[in-house]
Amino acid sequence: MLRVLPQPESSSEPGGIGVSEIELKQQSTSLMKRDSIGFVFPGQGSQYLGMLSAMSGGESIIRDTFAEASEEVALDLWSLAQEGPAESQSLTANTQPLILTASVALYRLWLQRGGQRPHVVAGHSLGEFSALVAAQALAFTDAVKLVRLRGQAMQEAVPVGAGAMAAVLGLDDEIINAVCVEVSVDSATQVLAVNFNSPGQVVIAGHAGAVQAASVALKAAGAKRILPLPVSAPFHTPLMQPAAEILHAALADVTMADAQVPVISNVDARPNTDRGTITQLMVQQVVAPVQWTSCVGTMIEMGCTDFVECGPGTVLAGLLRRIDRSQTCYCIENPEAFSDALNELAEVNQV
């Protein structure tokens, strides 16, 4: 029997599309086996000064991957990763190629060291591009240029200070959605839930005034904490439509391939392999909420029992523990953890 993680109704999350239990079981039977490995790739916010420095010592593939990406975007990404400054590292246009490159470098090292290929992949927001590279649906060089452009377009879509984001902790999704609807009184005062990260952790975004008003209302409704996020753009909202249009135009010049393993989309939490569907979802994702809780739920329903967070930081491992504590997640950003994951997952797959 597959372990089932309850998923939100399609009507309760903006942009969400319900996936029936029968359909998921049919997909899992045809696409995966029990005791499968799922790779998850982090998004913006996972960067830090010195990322992957411990991994680069005797592993030329790490530095080679950074050199390859740096040439594509005319930016020294390794220097930015190691020396910053932090202000430059946190600029969206720099952060996106930086995190993608770090994630792909680790994935390449994993395969080079004989690591088990994943049976399914997913990425949080920006991380979905890393997942597409791992699934061989998108070439790495194309991905680096796309996320550089995506970051620039998202940064410029809304004037600085006009948008905002905030994390809401300890409140049900339904209450958050209802408050956002109540606060969004006109086209100039819009706020909605945009990241369903785990039960009790949701991010809201929109016009700065609307996010502030919603934060006050959500605190009054029982939220444990409201944490303003250090970003100036309201990601994953309709306000990002100009960025979506720029990405759509750029994708016309990119050759996509069918994914070699299922990629769980942030938009609908469904497994996809078709290149046309994936391309459409890449554009929709810019303006649609990230259904991360449902994405992880889909992976579990499809048979995932072990997860690998492939990229800088441990954010996704923390979210997985909140979603389902029975799951194991390996973080591989340092040599010791990398070797442990490699050995333990090799043993699992020999049983």
- CA atoms of 250 and 143, how far apart (whole Å): 11
Type of residue found at 92? T
Quickly state the pLDDT bin for 160 (edges 50, 70, 90): confident
- Residue-wise pLDDT tens digits, 20-36: 333 433 444 344 554 69
Active site residue 10: no
pLDDT of residue 4: 27
pTM of the model as a whole: 0.89
pLDDT of residue 57: 82
Active site residue 103: no
pLDDT greater than 90 at residue 316? yes
Domains and CATH numbers, the chain: 21-157+240-348 (3.40.366.10), 163-232 (3.30.70.250)
Contact (CB, 8 A) for 307 and 38 = yes
Which one of 28, 36, 46, 125 is the catalytic residue?
Answer: 125
- CA atoms of 259 and 276, how far apart (whole Å): 11
- Residue-wise pLDDT tens digits, 192-239: 999 999 999 999 999 999 999 999 999 999 999 999 998 878 999 999
Beta-sheet strand order (sheet of 191-198): 191-198, 201-207, 163-169, 225-228
pLDDT of residue 95: 95
> Which tokens belong to 168?
């809401």
Backbone φ and ψ of 107, nearest 5°: -65, -40
- Residue-wise pLDDT tens digits, 78-103: 999 999 999 999 899 999 999 999 99
pLDDT of residue 348: 59
Type of residue found at 125? S
pLDDT of residue 53: 95
Least confidently predicted of 4-8, 134-138, 181-185: 4-8
Strands 163-169 and 201-207: antiparallel
